[in-house]
């Protein structure tokens, strides 16, 4: 049998296979809190419980796993997040009552206001502070913890968290977000010095005033999602 004949006769359902889904942890920052998007499940298993936005690969619709993740996030928020990265894949015999199950998990960031129109219009999708989550379906509690831990690491050597803010943001806002992620205060001087030296943001020329001295508004430069510092913040 040559390869062509093999492919002709190949039956994808000949062997038992795990069920496979794609889930995302979508983070945002709102009201001084780091929040994550949860969806109330409409179907079994764990019907009516809250869980992560996700679903199955659509073999005709999706060209890649990331497209599956983004399609599902778009269904729930009405928009596509500006930052997404693969987190980890979870697969074992016990995590799903239906069968041996695999979920490819993504972590994403978006500005709260970009989602507001869509999310405010439905009641099965909501932002939850990461510090006070409800009971969750499957092992989703664990996935969120892992995503948070990874985000905490990245907050020590990158500025990707900025994608959870509006396009134009101030440095005090960016620092407050990093502090919310890390759950500890940062040194203002250290935080700003390295961002400035690495040339990761640019001034918009505008200011944001909230009753006291106004702060400069910045935007992320195009490739700042790819930049990493070679030394972590530690305190």
Residues forming the site for DNA (CB under 7 A): 170-172, 186-190, 192-194, 197, 207, 209-216, 229, 231, 233-235
Q: Which of 32, 80, 99, 149 binds a copy of itself (CB under 8 A)?
A: 99
User: Given candidates 33, 40, 57, 141, which one binds a copy of itself under the rule CB under 8 A?
Assistant: 57
Checking DSSP bridges between strand 19-30 and strand 101-109, what pairing results, if any? parallel
Chain centroid to Cα 120, Å, comes to 19
Which residue number, 119 or 201, has a Cβ lying nearer to DNA? 201
- The count of other CB atoms within 10 Å of the CB of residue 230 is 5
Residues 6+ away with beta carbon under 8 Å from 219: 167, 168, 169, 201, 202, 204
187 interface partner picked from a copy of itself, DNA, none, CB below 5 to 8 A per type: DNA
Binding site partner of 121, from DNA, a copy of itself, none, Cβ cut-off 5-8 A by kind: none
Give me the phi and psi of 202, to 5 degrees please: -135, 150
Does 63 bind a copy of itself (CB under 8 A)? Our answer is yes
What DSSP state is assigned to residue 46? S
**Contact status, residue 109 vs residue 164, Cβ threshold 8 Å:** yes
Q: Which is nearer to a copy of itself, 59 or 213 (CB)?
A: 59
3-class secondary-structure state, position 173: helix
| Nearest CB to DNA, comparing residues 102 and 233 | 233
Segment interacting with a copy of itself, rule: CB under 8 A, options 96-104, 172-180, 193-201, 214-222:
96-104
193 binds a copy of itself (CB under 8 A): no
Residue corresponding to tokens 């996700």 = 54
Pick one of 33, 40, 100, 167: the residue that binds a copy of itself (CB under 8 A): 100
Which of 87, 180 has the CB closer to a copy of itself?
87
Q: Residue 47 is encoded by which pair of tokens?
A: 């019907």
Residue 4 class from Cβ within 10 Å (0-12 exposed, 13-18 middle, 19+ buried)?
Answer: exposed
Residue 208's H or E segment, with its range, is strand 201-208
Q: How far is CA 147 from the centre of its chain?
A: 8
14's contact among DNA, a copy of itself, none, with CB below 5 to 8 A by partner kind, is: none
Q: Which residues bind a copy of itself (CB under 8 A)?
A: 1, 3, 6-7, 10, 12-13, 15-20, 44-47, 56-57, 59, 62-65, 86, 88-94, 97-100, 102, 104, 156, 230-232, 234
């Amino acid at each position: 049998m040559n390869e062509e004949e093999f492919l002709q006769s190949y039956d994808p359902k000949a062997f038992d296979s795990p069920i496979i889904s794609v889930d995302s942890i979508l983070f945002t920052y709102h009201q001084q809190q780091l929040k994550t998007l949860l969806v109330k499940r409409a179907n079994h298993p764990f019907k009516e419980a809250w869980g992560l936005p996700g679903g199955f690969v659509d073999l005709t619709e999706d060209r890649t796993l990331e497209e599956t993740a983004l399609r599902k996030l778009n269904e729930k928020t009405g928009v596509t997040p500006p930052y997404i990265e693969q987190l980890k894949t979870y697969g074992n015999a016990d995590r799903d009552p239906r069968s041996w199950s695999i979920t490819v998990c993504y972590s994403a960031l978006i500005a709260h206001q970009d989602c507001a129109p869509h999310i405010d219009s439905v009641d099965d999708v909501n932002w939850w502070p990461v510090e006070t989550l409800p009971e969750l379906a499957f092992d989703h509690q664990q996935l969120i913890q892992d995503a948070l831990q990874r985000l905490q690491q990245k907050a020590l050597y990158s500025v990707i968290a900025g994608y959870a803010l509006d396009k134009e943001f101030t440095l005090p806002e960016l620092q407050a977000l990093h502090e919310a992620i890390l759950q500890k205060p940062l040194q203002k001087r250290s935080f700003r010095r390295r961002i400035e030296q690495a040339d990761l943001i640019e001034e918009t020329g505008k200011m944001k005033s909230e009753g006291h001295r106004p702060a400069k508004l910045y935007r992320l430069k195009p490739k700042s999602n790819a930049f990493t510092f070679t030394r972590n913040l530690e305190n």
